[in-house]
Amino acid sequence: MSGSLEGKTALVTGGGSGIGRAAALAFAREGAHVAIVDYVQEGANQTLNMIREIGEGRVFKADVSKPDEIRRAVEQTVETYGRLDCAFNNAGIEGNTAARTDPWDHDNWNRVIAINLTGVFLSMQYEVEQMLKRGGGAIVNTSSIMGLVGAVGAFAYTAAKHGVAGLTKSAALLYAQKGIRVNAVCPGYIHTPMVERSVGIGSEFERHITKHLQPIGRLGRPEEIAEAVVWLCSPAASLVTGITMPVDGGCVAQ
């Protein structure tokens, strides 16, 4: 698929780490100019340095839960590159992991919903605004296997990720005839800093995941999600809209 996004612009939220970083690099490899959006500059700058070895990118600092900041980042992307073709709304947090905390914790609920769900809603709003001006585009949102099935006590995270799945489908329907495709990826357990924090590499929980929860028998790699994202944004996926695609080593097949 090399060069399938030549001359296009792709925006990635949460591009400073994990899945977002892998996707930013994958977009650059396909020839797209990449806008890396993150609220911490350090990780985003590291991604930018990696991109500069293969292509073109810029960092735009924004907290996706703040309307003015994410709107500005989208506008700056278009001011810089003249267009927005692809967007990967991926920034997210694990929140307080359910096993360790109170699932009724209001602060956790508000924070996780604000970033993982409202952040996707806001990002989409400003991206769609720009895409409509040029007649179309492709959006991919990061849901999760926890956007497809429940997880004991993880109220805020599963509600946010199910919300992303619903938002994706409703937006896909609204824009289907306006040239904008909207899909979601639903990663299984992927080896990123988030999983290092919340699962622990080498932990009993990781062994449980690879033995019982993820039939493929290992954690996924961020690049394996990035491949799906770039494909969903590419012309090869021109008939695909409104899907919530598990990329999960068989997790939700059980």
Binding mask 115-154 for ligand NAP (x = CB under 6 A): x---x----------------------x-x----------
How is residue 129 written in tokens? 């605004």
Amino acid identity, position 54: I
Least distance (Å) from ligand NAP to the CB of residue 152? 16
Query: Is residue 109 part of the contact set for ligand NAP (CB under 6 A)?
Result: no
Is 157 catalytic? The answer is yes
Query: Is residue 91 part of the contact set for ligand NAP (CB under 6 A)?
Result: yes
Count of residues that interact with ligand NAP, criterion CB under 6 A: 29
Least distance (Å) from ligand NAP to the CB of residue 37? 6
Chain position carrying tokens 């993982």 = 116
Q: Which of 81, 126, 157, 175 is catalytic?
A: 157
Return the residue of 25, 26, 30, 65 that touches ligand NAP, per CB under 6 A.
Answer: 65
Query: Is residue 234 part of the contact set for ligand NAP (CB under 6 A)?
Result: no
Least distance (Å) from ligand NAP to the CB of residue 216? 13
Least distance (Å) from ligand NAP to the CB of residue 158? 11
The CA distances from residue 113 to 17, 73, 110, 147, in Å, are 20, 21, 5, 13
Q: How far is CA 59 from the centre of its chain?
A: 16
Q: Which residues, 6 or more positions from 61, have their beta carbon under 8 angstroms from its beta carbon?
A: 37, 38, 39, 41, 44, 69, 73
Query: Is residue 16 part of the contact set for ligand NAP (CB under 6 A)?
Result: yes
Cβ atoms of residues 22 and 254 within 8 Å: no
Query: Is residue 43 part of the contact set for ligand NAP (CB under 6 A)?
Result: yes
Give the containing element (helix H, strand E) for 64. none
**Which residues between 183 and 212 bind ligand NAP (CB under 6 A)?**
187, 189-190, 192-195
54 by DSSP, 3-state: which? coil
Residue 66 to residue 37: CA distance in whole angstroms: 13
Chain position carrying tokens 């699932």 = 103
Residue 27 to residue 87: CA distance in whole angstroms: 10
What residues line the site for ligand NAP (CB under 6 A)? 13-14, 16-20, 38-40, 43, 63-65, 90-93, 115, 119, 142, 144, 187, 189-190, 192-195
**Which residues are known catalytic residues?**
157
